[in-house]
Amino acid sequence: MSEPGTGRPVLYTFVTSPYGAKAHAGLLFKGADFQLRYVNPVGLAQRLPSGRQIPVLSTPDGDLHGSDAILYALDELYPDAPRLLPDDAFLRAQAIAFNDWVSEVLIPSLFASVYLSAARGSGRVIRDGWRLGRAMRATSEGGLPRVAPYLWPWLLRRQGFVRDLARQAAGLGSAAERSAIIARRLDEALAGGPFFFQKAEPGLADVVAYAVLYPSRCLALEGIRRDMAPVAEMVDDWMRRMAERLAGGPPLIPDNLNVCPL
């Protein structure tokens, strides 16, 4: 349900979820007045207003489930705010296609970079898992055991959806090949700037890419930074512009967890 007594929408999510971050960034882009709840993953279904997965956006008119359902509803929910999707059919299709790429390539690659396999228990993977675990313990309502961050790399490995995404990423090629794909796509999208596809103002493509890349930087995740190393300077400049546009609401990463600010 929306926040009692105010009618403000409530976003239920995890601080480390790129899907939740997409919805979160969309609300910030709209300048929405909303409540953010970082729910505890233990007994998740009982902690949500409806459904069994995050993100959920609870509004006075009902609940929206999933990042894309939330994002694509925001222009209607906030018609007076800047639009995520343009009216022009070509530009609209271009933005949706990029959002699909984020979901099908960028996010699976992110999960693959923190997926601890028996054959690849590298220090980097474990360190990134620890960082995610610390962020979850610091933000989850009701808290998590002190040992949770140290177990997080192995807990991630046990999650079916993480295994599925890691397999999806493996289908794109080796880690080096995925890194090249990501760097090339970001370079193409940002060429000419200041925002994606040479736009003077940000839109859906900027919002969804920022939702994945910015938290990864703030938490100092090494895997995704490796993937975009060839275009890191250009991406960082763009992220600074996006940070200015999305200021004013609950940040994607709380200040006390932001160990690598722009």
Give the model confidence (pLDDT) of 53-86 as tens digits: 999 999 999 999 999 999 999 999 999 999 999 9
Average pLDDT over residues 232-257: 96
- H/E stretch holding 58: strand 56-59
In the chain the domains, ranked by start, together with CATH numbers, are 10-77 (3.40.30.10), 89-257 (1.20.1050)
What is the pTM (predicted TM-score) of this model?
Answer: 0.94
Give the model confidence (pLDDT) of 91-132 as tens digits: 999 999 999 999 999 999 999 888 866 455 588 888 999 999
Distance CA 209, CA 229 (A): 15
pLDDT bin (cut points 50, 70, 90) of residue 190 is very high
Query: For the chain, what percentages of helix, strand and coil (3-state, to nearest 5) are there?
Result: 60, 10, 35
Average pLDDT score over the chain: 93
pLDDT of residue 118: 47
pLDDT of residue 2: 62
pLDDT of residue 123: 84
CB atoms within 10 A of CB 1: 11
| Per-residue pLDDT at 153 exceeds 60 | yes
